[in-house]
Chains A and B, each alone.
Chain A
Amino acid sequence: MTGAKLLGWEWFKLRRRRIIWLLVAIMVGFSAFMVLLRFGEYQFKKDAEVKDEVVFVAGGPQPEDDISFGCAAFIAGDRPELPPEVTLGDIDVALTSRECELELAETEERLVFLTEEFTLPGAIPRALRWTSIVSIPLLAFLTVLVVGSEYTWGTLRTTLSRGTGRRRLLAVKLALVALCAAALWVAVTVVIALTSLLATALASGVGHGEWTGAAAGDIAGDVARAWYSTLPYVALAALLSVLFSAWSGGTLAAAGISIGYFFFDLFSMARLLQLFDGASGFGWVADVADVDLGWNTAAWLFGEGGEPIRGFNLVGAIGQATYPGGIWSFAVQLAYLAAFAGAAFWLFQRRDIAGPTG
C-alpha cells in the first residue's frame, strides 16, 4: 500500500462527510461576501457623493437645522434651498467649497481604493487576506475532524489493527488536509474572481485594472502565501488532537483551543504592542512579538504591501510597531510548523490507542 493509495482512501472517507462541504461553503461564501461588501460600500459612497454631503450652515437656530447638500453640486455653483430664517449669507462659501473639495478628494480616494477591492486583479489578494482570518481556523477545525474524530469513534484502533502504520497514517492525514487547503484556496480564488466579475458588471462606469502576466504571478503567489499561513495551525490542531486523545471531549477541546489560540494570538499581540509601545522596560514585548506565530502570520498575510486590517483595527492599534520582514515571517512560521508537526508525530507514535472516547 503506497502513501498515494492510502491518501486516495482517506479522501474516499473524507469526501463523504457533510461537515467538510459545510466548511467549504463557509470559506467560499465568506470570500464572495468580502468582495460584495466592498462593492456595496463603493455603491454607497458613490451615491453619497452626489446627494448627501453635509454643508454646515453657520448661524442655524438648531443643530438639526443643518442643511444637507451635495458637495459636487455646491462647487458647481448650485445653492441649497434654505429655510426662511437662514440666509445664504450665513454660509462661508469659500470655506465650504474648500471643505467640499477635501471631502470630494477623500471620497474619490476611497472610491479608488474600493474599486480596487472589488475589481480584478486587486480583488483577489485583498479578499484572500480577509478570507484567511476565517479560513485558517476552519482548516484547523478540519484537521481536528480528520485526526481527532478517529479517536472519538475508536476507528483509529480499527485502522491501525490492519497494519496501516502510525507515522504513515498521520502523514497521509496531514497531507490530505494540506492538499484540501490548497484546493480550497484555489476554489476561493476562483469564487473571488467570479464575484468580482459580477460586481464589476453591476457597477456602472467601473472597469477592471490592468491584467498583466505579473499580476497573474502575484495572484499565484498570494494563493501560495495564504496556503502556507494555514500550515502551522493545521500542525497545531493535529498536535492538540493527539494530545487530548485520551479524554472524552478531547476533539472538542482540540478544536476550541486551536481556533481560540489563532484569534487570541493574532489580536492580543497587537494590543500588547500598543499597550507597551515606548514604555521603558517593556522592550521585550516587541522581541516576543518577533517570534510569535500570530504576529508573524499577520505580517506574512498583511505586512508586505497589504492593506491594513481596517475592520479589526489591527495595524491601527499597534502604534509605531512594524511587522517583521517577509523572510523572517516565513522562517518563524516554518519553525512553528516543524515544532508542532514533530511533537504531533512523536506523541502519535508513542501513545497507546484506546477505544472510542466520544
Chain B
Amino acid sequence: MAGAVVEIEGLTKRYGDVVAVDDLTLAVPAGSVFGLLGPNGAGKTTIIGCALGLIRRDAGSVRLLGREIDGGAEEVVRGVGATMETPAFYPYLSGRDNLRYFQGIIGRDEPAEVDRLLELVGLTARAGSRFQTYSLGMKHRLGVAYALLGDPQLLLLDEPTNGLDPAGMAEVRQLIRRLGDGTRTVVLASHLLNEVEQVCDRVGILSRGRLIAHGGVAELIGRQDRLRLRTTDDSRAAALLGGLDFVGSVVADEAGLVVAAPGDHAAGISAALAAQGIHVAELRSLDTSLEEYFLQVTEGEAPPSPGEHGAGAAT
C-alpha cells in the first residue's frame, strides 16, 4: 500500500496450540498515531515482536518503512524506535550510559543527542543514577528516549504507560501525541481504551489475535448510533421498534430501552410509537465512547460489518 509505513499481511503466530496472532493483515499510514487496541493476551506484543524480528512468524509477511524485514531485518529495524512492555535496561548502568550504549550499537556516538533526549523526557536530573533506582515512570520515560535514539521515522510503543500513575500517564501521552504530530508515525499498542481514544488518530482493535475492527477513532465511535428511549410501555415499544427497517436492535435495561438506530431517525421512532398510543418520556442520542464500542465488538454485541471490519485488510 502506498504511503503505509507498516504493512503486515497474513501474519500468523502460534505458541503450541494457542494461536496468538491469526492471519492478521494491517497497514499503518505514514504520519499518524495508530492505536493497536486489545485486552491483555490479544496479540499486541506478539505483533510488535514479529515486526521487529524478535519473534518468529509462522506465516505472513511484514514490511516496515517500505522494506521487507526478511533477509535484512537488522537494516530495517535500525530505523525503527521501539519499546516493548516494561522497558528493560541494564540495571547497573545509569540512564545516560544505557542510552549511550544503545546509541552506540546503532552506529552513533553523539552525547549531545543523549542529553537532548534525557531532557525531552525529563530525566536530566537523574541521568547519572543507576537504572535500577528508577521509578516505573522514569523507566518508561527512559524507554521513550531510547525509542527516539537516531530520530526514527517509525515508533512502535508497546504499553508505554503501563503501571504509571495518572500524572505519569498524562505526561507520556502528551509526549506521544507530540511525537506523532509531524511526519513521524507512531504505533501505540495499548489495552487502555481511553488512552487510545485520547492519543490516536486511527485504531485497530484486536481480539484473540484477530483484527476485528479498524478505522479512524472518530469514525468508529460515530458509527455506533444508539438512542436512549423511555416510554409509557417499554415492552410494547420494543416489539414495535423491532419490526422497523432502520432499527438494528432493541435492548431493554434498567433505565429503559437502547435502540440501535441512526440519530436522524429519532422523529420516525417517535411518530411510530405515537401512532400506536405509546408516549415517549425520553428520547436522546447515546454518546458512545471507544470503550463502549470496544466492548460491543469484542463481546459480539455489535459485530463489525464485513466490508469495513473483520480480519481483512485495515488501513
**A87 at the binding interface (Cβ < 8 Å):** no
- Measured between beta carbons, the chain B residues less than 8 angstroms from A355 are 84-86, 88
Cβ distance A356 to chain B, nearest Cβ, rounded Å: 6
- B74 adjacent to A161 (CB under 8 Å): no
- Which secondary structure characterizes the binding site on chain B? loop
* Least Cβ–Cβ distance between B196 and chain A, in angstroms: 22
Tally of chain B residues near chain A (CB < 8 A): 36
Interface residues of B in 138-184 (CB under 8 A from A): 146, 149
Q: Which of chain B's residues have a CB closer than 8 A to the CB of A310?
A: none
Contact A16 B93 (CB under 8 A): yes
Contact B78 A157 (CB under 8 A): no
Question: Which residues of A lie under 8 Å from residue B269 when comparing CB positions?
Answer: none
Give chain B interface residues in 42-98, CB to chain A under 8 Å. Answer: 49, 52-56, 73-80, 82-93, 97
Name B83-118 residues within 8 Å CB distance of A: 83-93, 97, 100-102, 104-107
Chain B contacts for A13, CB-based, 8 A: 90, 93, 101
User: Residue-by-residue, is A6-26 near B (CB-CB < 8 Å gives 1, otherwise 0)?
Assistant: 101100110011100000000
Residues of chain B within 8 A (CB-CB) of A1 are 105-107
| Complex: chain B residue closest to A172, CB-CB | B105
Complex Cα spacing A358 to B287, Å = 45
**A161 engages B92 (CB within 8 Å):** no
* CB 8 Å contact bits of A32-65 with B (1 = contact, 0 = none): 0000000000000000000000000000000000
- Asked whether A162 lies within 8 Å of B97 as measured between CB atoms, the reply is no
A247 at the interface (CB under 8 A from B): no
- Cβ of A97 within 8 Å of any chain B Cβ, yes or no, is no
A163-B75, A163-B78 known; A158 vs B54 contact (CB < 8 Å):
no
Verify A161–B77 contact, CB threshold 8 A: yes
Interface residues on A, range: 20 to 34
Q: Complex formed: what's the CA distance from A153 to B98 in Å?
A: 13
Say which residue of A12, A153, A160, A168 sits within 8 Å of B53 (CB atoms). Answer: A160
What residues of B have a CB within 8 angstroms of the CB of A157 in the complex? 49, 54, 84, 88
Interface residues of A in 136-165 (CB under 8 A from B): 153-155, 157-165
Q: Name the A residues within 8 Å of B78 (CB-CB).
A: 162-163
Q: How far is the CB of B209 from chain A (nearest CB, A)?
A: 15
- Contacting pair B93 A158 (CB below 8 A): no
| B-chain residues with CB within 8 Å of residue A154 when the two chains form the complex | 86, 88
Assess A153 versus B56: contact at CB under 8 Å? Given A9-B101, A162-B106.
no
B315 to chain A, nearest CB (A): 25
What's the Cα separation between A8 and B146 when bound, in Å?
20
Interchain CB contact (< 8 A) of B55 among A8, A9, A353: A353
**Shortest distance in angstroms between B68's beta carbon and chain A's nearest beta carbon?**
14
Q: Which chain A residues lie closer than 8 Å to B49 at the CB level? A: 157, 352-353
Contacts of B86 in A (CB 8 A): 154, 355-356
CA A162 – CA B84 in complex, angstroms? 12
Q: How far is the CA of A164 from the CA of B93 in the complex (A)?
A: 20
A154 → B minimal CB distance (Å):
3
Q: Contact between B93 and A356 (Cβ–Cβ < 8 Å)?
A: no
Closest B residue to A19 by beta carbon equals B92
Chain B CB count within 10 A is highest, among A6, A159, A162, A350, for A162
- 7 A-B pairs whose Cβ atoms sit less than 8 Å apart in the complex: A12-B97, A12-B101, A155-B88, A160-B53, A162-B82, A355-B84, A356-B88
Beyond the given A9-B104, A18-B92, A163-B77, could you list 14 further A-B residue pairs with CB under 8 A, ordered by the A residue number? A12-B104, A155-B89, A160-B52, A161-B80, A161-B82, A161-B83, A162-B78, A163-B73, A163-B78, A163-B106, A350-B56, A352-B49, A352-B56, A356-B86
Closest 6 CB pairs of A and B: A154-B88, A163-B78, A163-B77, A9-B104, A1-B107, A163-B74
